[in-house]
Amino acid sequence: METTLRGVGVSHGVAIGEVRHMGTAVLEPPAKQIPAEDAAREQGRARKAVEAVAADLIARGNLAGGEAQAVLEAQAMMAQDPELMADVERRIAVGSTAERAVYDAFAAYRALLAGAGEYLAGRVADLDDVRNRIVARLLGVPMPGVPDSDEPYVLIARDLAPADTALLDPTLVLGFVTEEGGPTSHSAILARALGVPAVVALPGAGELAEGTVIAVDGSTGEIFVEPSAEKKAQLESAAAQRKAALSASTGPGATSDGHKVPLLANVGGPADVPAAVEAGAEGVGLFRTEFLFLDDSKQAPSEEKQVEAYRQVLEAFPEGRVVVRVLDAGADKPLDFLTPADEPNPALGVRGLRSLLDHPDVLRTQLTALAKASEGLPVYLEVMAPMVADRTDAKAFADACRAAGLRAKFGAMVEIPSAALRARSILQEVEFLSLGTNDLAQYTFAADRQVGAVSRLQDPWQPALLDLVALSAEAAKAEGKSCGVCGEAASDPLLACVLTGLGVTSLSMGAASIPYVRATLAKYTLAQCERAASAARATDTAEEARTAAQAVLSGE
């Protein structure tokens, strides 16, 4: 009998297939004592396993490229954490086997994270995955990961570690469903980059029996268990219509009455550029530069290395706009040479621009490298600072850009409510705003973007978040300047229309979402988008906002 479940849709498309569950390693090795003379050998085994797992994660990252590479390299750093390794060796010295020592040391670290109010809950899933991989290697059992199957399937997991999501084979994995995660978790972002339909935060997903046929709608978040032939036909027809609309839609982003809305790509490094170009991106709205800094957490990359990487991206968009975000370190992206190790709540501490202003040499080197990389290129370079709180921050960043001889527009990201509330003040110092809706939602609702339990508050349709977007866009219009969105909100085609109606001047998203947004925008006039935006803001919940906007745009 057909039943319907609802999670959070995070990647467009429809997948219909049999359920396969994510394989896991043996989670808890037996506890047994070893003779003292075996300790050195067991410590050697542990070190070799850790190094092998770290090397495997780095290799997977090199294959995946882009954002996935940065995430996996961060996981490799986690595996090689010297304090964790020291704890493992201490446990072996008092009689634990290598595998049990690894298990217990990681469990202790996990408890520390959980004890911090689950602030770093997103990293807990990554930590568990690293532990399972090391223990599996020591025990000689299969690594955790996607199941072996010759036939396409829908993957079900409690959560997907970045190492698994990054190398999913779209020809076999039709889509995936997870019990945990949220719309801005690593898994969701990587799913959109892959173009794989995905639903997260679905309670009870793990209870779906192996082999059960389900239909996954990554746009609505609906899961149809044992769908009827009629339901399958309905979903497949809707998917075919979407595909036809995508194929028919080309060229720059615009509403049906010709109001231009440039559609830009979010990229995590040179490896993401080909997909952006193929999708018809009109430039880059968010060039995340962290991938360069995660290679070595002990020191910043050289100016020469930065110039080479930046130039690869800038050259791909002649006459196009490329917006570079300077290093956004801290919180879930700690760097030994930049971020404090003992902050009780890193997301509310020294992160983003705050870290760079505390280390002006790192900021100066990056800005100088960007200046050199853009020399002689017909590209419209724009550089923005993350986590700008007020006009003082904006002025400090603009001054640093000028001191580095950077010939580009300087901008500020709006990720903190104070920046939206005082956007007009900030625009006295910079030339554009860019809304990072992921962090803006996190700070507006005090809801960690990695915690599935609060994913309701991470929904970018929340009317309070739309109000802050409107404030920012109105301020930019009053100052004659631009205000784009580079957060994941821009990847939702319906929400893209609402953002346009709120006055946003450009939209940046993962490359896979660009055709969907382009085709949807082209259906409606600017006036319709404005009415949809007003209707959404007049509601009290995210679900009501979406429904109200849909009703306006469908003419109901």
Mention every residue, 6+ apart, whose C-beta is less than 8 A from residue 168.
146, 155, 176, 194, 196
CB 318 within 8 A of CB 379: yes
Taking alpha carbons only, the member of 83, 71, 184, 170 closest to residue 129 is 71
What residues are annotated to the active site? 186, 486
- CB burial readout 23-34, b (16+ within 10 A) else e: ebbbeebeeeeb
Which amino acid is it at 2?
Answer: E
Helix (H, G, I), strand (E, B) or coil at 433: strand
CB 193 within 8 A of CB 57: no
Q: Any idea what DSSP says for residue 330? A: B
CB 225 within 8 A of CB 24: no
The DSSP bridge partners found for residue 17 are 214
- Bridge-based pairing of strands 222-225 and 263-267 is unpaired
CB-based burial label for 7 (10 Å; 0-12, 13-18, 19+): buried
Residue 140: Cβ within 10 Å count:
7
CA distance 514 to 510: 7
Mention every residue, 6+ apart, whose C-beta is less than 8 A from residue 374.
310, 311, 314, 381, 407, 408
CB 218 within 8 A of CB 238: no
